A and B are shown apart, each in its own frame.
Chain A
């Protein structure tokens, strides 16, 4: 990992209480993000990627319990009071959501959104400075000053998302988490937003976590990628390496099943992701894994660091010393019934 990370997550767990039991949405995740680094977090719906993003910022709904460490600027954000967290949100921690329309107040002009946000954290800043700073940030996102006094409905979807990004950036947060920021946008606009996000690294030195289900976005925009499956990080490392030569079978299967312009044969992962109330023992992917061995359901995989600095949790990568006698014998799997298919 590079120099001093802006945020350092260690063994983070987030459980949701439900009637059927507790859902282990995030189950022992560790992740570092350095200044000026764009880290992609990919996984299918229900894998816990959004919960992880919110867990890092302490933005969890009621009924969620978290434990572990989110180290930021010498503090642990886990267990911090709402009041203290609120003070950090904005100037330190920022979040960009998926649907920009629902996050802007339709009755407030863009100007009022900015004034309110800035005054919240810097009450003594004068109006002229607020205006200058807002216009400068908006300008970098390609929003002209002529539109500063307009209402959210007067903007297109892509412009609204750029306004949301500007609103998050105007306080210069050190850590920004973007949760599916382009999912509801058209493909050309999506690419425009991604190039803006990629530029934040150099222009603002922001540490950025980009949560998405789209592997293509991560491959093109991110420095590093963490692949999440059933509440855990299966594999994490430089995006280029992970995509060129995936180390975890889940990453490989996910890449194979993605339909791209090069797809000639369709491939899908058999079965469906487990429920997180009672996930499979051992490796959570073993029931769907083409390489499952005897050891996989028996013991939790241990995280290994590969030569290129990649982290992977899969028994295929050892440690051999901990694999019991006969552990590498392929697992006889029960036929996956169509009923369990997604």
Chain B
């Protein structure tokens, strides 16, 4: 997604960034030098972060938000693409070249209990970066540590300097971790779920501290979180991530007031709100974030999307899920009968656009009947829009799906959205395919 250019050059500029992790296969595969594939943790991400801005990277587990943060910090090597921080291209830098930049980009992690060394006093932990970068010593060192402790609300500092992390509460530890991150006056602070592990009444205190620091020092934040509520309060702009891609990015107000992507809409509806007039929402997307090593074809969100259509990427695995969901609700005998009908159910585990289901000792028409009964049970199910051809031929049923189109970033009133619903070309393509006509399911007698 390409954010529009601004006069001032951004503090951070990410372009077409990809971070893939390779999967180590079994012993035999490694012996033969075969790769078992890779996980696209960050898949073609572009974003800009202006000075003094707070950008939220929001996503569920497995969305790639943490990997994106770590790649930007140079803690994980990018597979391709570019990250320009304060005028420096960092993706190709060695650890030694990165070190002086680290002073200007710092990080706060989720778990304050794990991010502070239990054997170091608070003074040692917070002052450690000053020692490593040889920025201060003696009285100046102590003064700077005391000053920063006071800034984060650990006052009077003398009371905390000689304490160990175990003497502090969760909120106090997170304050110390923030103190360590800002002791060298960084330009960018990457905060990875900094309040998620804290109690409700403490979250507000830490978030307030982060707001104060932004005001006082003009800090720029990359706020990584799964929590849309704190992101709404804290962020100027929001990027919603799903399976390694930014599916929606724009000003916070626009995202919350008028979410565009079906995934963003679902997320916002699912948040439990302390509002007594609300009840548990029932119309939620099914399933969970899929395995990033075997992402769905087309748009990654299509299997869960209530409004997906022809070109969104419907495929064999979606039919497998559909049958499983049906069988979960059936009596054992019914299920046994239906399952026994199909000989090669395993073919629905691999991504394919063409599958021939073979009937076991029966006719293809029997499988077709099963599929038609599933369709009749829920005609609104978007899966059926992706089916191009459904034919019973002798002992088998031929199923063909529409060729998927990969979604691209579309600008809708200043918000970037990766969804075919907003892409005129994709919509036109879908209409064209519809007019060509989904051949009505029919039975062809062989010979």
Q: Is the CB of A261 within 8 A of B211?
A: no
Q: Is the CB of A213 within 8 A of B339?
A: no
Q: Is the CB of B332 within 8 A of A342?
A: no
Task: Indicate whether B23 reaches chain A with its CB closer than 8 angstroms.
Answer: no
Closest CB-CB distance, B144 to chain A, in whole Å? 19
Partner of B271, one of A143, A187, A192: A187
Q: How far is the CA of A309 from the CA of B332 in the complex (A)?
A: 46
Of listed B280, B325, B339, residue having the most chain A CB within 10 A: B280
Q: How far is the CA of A147 from the CA of B286 in the complex (A)?
A: 17
By a CB distance below 8 angstroms, the chain A residues around B277 are 240
Q: Is the CB of B229 within 8 A of A255?
A: no
By a CB distance below 8 angstroms, the chain A residues around B432 are none
Q: Is the CB of B208 within 8 A of A266?
A: yes
Q: Is the CB of A261 within 8 A of B288?
A: no
Q: Is the CB of A214 within 8 A of B332?
A: no
By a CB distance below 8 angstroms, the chain A residues around B203 are 257, 259
By a CB distance below 8 angstroms, the chain A residues around B201 are 44, 253-254, 257, 268-269, 342
By a CB distance below 8 angstroms, the chain A residues around B232 are 261, 263
**Residue of chain A at shortest CB distance from B331:** A136
Task: Indicate whether A81 reaches chain B with its CB closer than 8 angstroms.
Answer: no
Closest CB-CB distance, B231 to chain A, in whole Å? 10
Closest CB-CB distance, A8 to chain B, in whole Å? 26
A259 and B204 contact, Cβ closer than 8 Å, known pairs A191-B272, A220-B280 = yes
Closest CB-CB distance, A138 to chain B, in whole Å? 7
Q: How far is the CA of A220 from the CA of B339 in the complex (A)?
A: 38
A258 and B200 contact, Cβ closer than 8 Å, known pairs A188-B284, A216-B271, A338-B154 = yes
**Residue of chain A at shortest CB distance from B267:** A187
By a CB distance below 8 angstroms, the chain A residues around B172 are 341-342
Q: How far is the CA of A258 from the CA of B278 in the complex (A)?
A: 16
Closest CB-CB distance, A182 to chain B, in whole Å? 9
Q: Is the CB of A186 within 8 A of B226?
A: yes
Partner of B329, one of A139, A214, A267, A338: A139
Q: How far is the CA of A121 from the CA of B231 in the complex (A)?
A: 48
By a CB distance below 8 angstroms, the chain B residues around A156 are 288
Partner of A338, one of B153, B273, B284, B286: B153
Q: How far is the CA of A136 from the CA of B331 in the complex (A)?
A: 7
Closest CB-CB distance, A234 to chain B, in whole Å? 14
Of listed B205, B329, B335, residue having the most chain A CB within 10 A: B205
By a CB distance below 8 angstroms, the chain B residues around A216 are 271-275
Closest CB-CB distance, A62 to chain B, in whole Å? 24
**Residue of chain B at shortest CB distance from A243:** B276
Q: Is the CB of B200 within 8 A of A219?
A: no
A124-145 vs B, Cβ < 8 Å mask (1 yes, 0 no): 0000000110011011001111
By a CB distance below 8 angstroms, the chain B residues around A192 are 284, 286
Q: How far is the CA of A260 from the CA of B274 in the complex (A)?
A: 7
By a CB distance below 8 angstroms, the chain B residues around A339 are 155-156, 159-160
**Residue of chain A at shortest CB distance from B269:** A191
**Residue of chain A at shortest CB distance from B329:** A139
Q: Is the CB of A132 within 8 A of B332?
A: yes
Q: Is the CB of B199 within 8 A of A266?
A: no
Q: Is the CB of A194 within 8 A of B205?
A: no
Task: Indicate whether B35 reaches chain A with its CB closer than 8 angstroms.
Answer: no
Q: Is the CB of A144 within 8 A of B325?
A: yes
Within 8 A of B (CB), among A182-196: 186-192, 194-195
Partner of A187, one of B60, B204, B233: B60
Q: Is the CB of A263 within 8 A of B229?
A: yes
Within 8 A of A (CB), among B301-329: 324-325, 327-329
Q: Is the CB of B332 within 8 A of A268?
A: no
Partner of A145, one of B156, B230, B284, B332: B332
Q: Is the CB of A261 within 8 A of B332?
A: no
Closest CB-CB distance, A285 to chain B, in whole Å? 12
Task: Indicate whether A4 reaches chain B with its CB closer than 8 angstroms.
Answer: no
Q: How far is the CA of A215 from the CA of B278 in the complex (A)?
A: 12
A191 and B207 contact, Cβ closer than 8 Å, known pairs A146-B327, A239-B276 = no
**Residue of chain A at shortest CB distance from B324:** A144
**Residue of chain B at shortest CB distance from A238:** B276
**Residue of chain B at shortest CB distance from A340:** B169
Q: How far is the CA of A272 from the CA of B202 in the complex (A)?
A: 9
A145 and B335 contact, Cβ closer than 8 Å, known pairs A187-B226, A259-B207, A268-B208 = yes
Task: Indicate whether A198 reaches chain B with its CB closer than 8 angstroms.
Answer: yes
Task: Indicate whether B289 reaches chain A with its CB closer than 8 angstroms.
Answer: yes
A268 and B205 contact, Cβ closer than 8 Å, known pairs A192-B284, A239-B276, A258-B200 = yes
Task: Indicate whether A244 reaches chain B with its CB closer than 8 angstroms.
Answer: yes
By a CB distance below 8 angstroms, the chain A residues around B227 are 259
Task: Indicate whether B147 reaches chain A with its CB closer than 8 angstroms.
Answer: no
Q: Is the CB of A191 within 8 A of B169?
A: no
Of listed A132, A135, A188, A255, residue having the most chain B CB within 10 A: A188
Closest CB-CB distance, B148 to chain A, in whole Å? 14
By a CB distance below 8 angstroms, the chain A residues around B256 are 261
Within 8 A of B (CB), among A213-249: 213-221, 239-241, 243-244
Q: Is the CB of A195 within 8 A of B271?
A: no
Task: Indicate whether A45 reaches chain B with its CB closer than 8 angstroms.
Answer: yes
**Residue of chain A at shortest CB distance from B60:** A186
Q: How far is the CA of A259 from the CA of B211 in the complex (A)?
A: 14
Closest CB-CB distance, A61 to chain B, in whole Å? 21
Q: Is the CB of B278 within 8 A of A186?
A: no
**Residue of chain B at shortest CB distance from A196:** B280
A219 and B233 contact, Cβ closer than 8 Å, known pairs A191-B281, A341-B171 = no
By a CB distance below 8 angstroms, the chain B residues around A28 are none
Q: Is the CB of A258 within 8 A of B274?
A: yes
**Residue of chain B at shortest CB distance from A221:** B280
Q: How far is the CA of A138 from the CA of B229 in the complex (A)?
A: 33
Q: How far is the CA of A186 from the CA of B200 in the complex (A)?
A: 18
**Residue of chain B at shortest CB distance from A264:** B233
**Residue of chain A at shortest CB distance from B175:** A341
Task: Indicate whether B415 reaches chain A with its CB closer than 8 angstroms.
Answer: no
Q: How far is the CA of A261 from the CA of B266 in the complex (A)?
A: 14
Task: Indicate whether A158 reaches chain B with its CB closer than 8 angstroms.
Answer: yes
Which A-B residue pairs are the 6 nearest by beta carbons?
Answer: A216-B272, A144-B324, A342-B171, A186-B60, A243-B276, A268-B204
Residues of chain A touching chain B, judged by Cβ–Cβ distance below 8 Å, are 44-45, 131-132, 135-136, 138-139, 142-147, 156-159, 186-192, 194-195, 198, 213-221, 239-241, 243-244, 253-255, 257-264, 266-269, 272, 338-339, 341-342
Additional pairs, 14, CB under 8 Å, beyond known A156-B288, A261-B256, A268-B205 = A44-B201, A131-B332, A135-B332, A139-B330, A186-B226, A187-B271, A195-B282, A220-B280, A243-B274, A255-B274, A259-B230, A261-B271, A262-B275, A266-B211
15 residue pairs bridging A and B, Cβ less than 8 Å apart: A132-B332, A139-B328, A157-B288, A186-B289, A188-B266, A215-B274, A216-B273, A218-B274, A260-B271, A261-B228, A262-B275, A266-B211, A339-B159, A341-B205, A342-B170
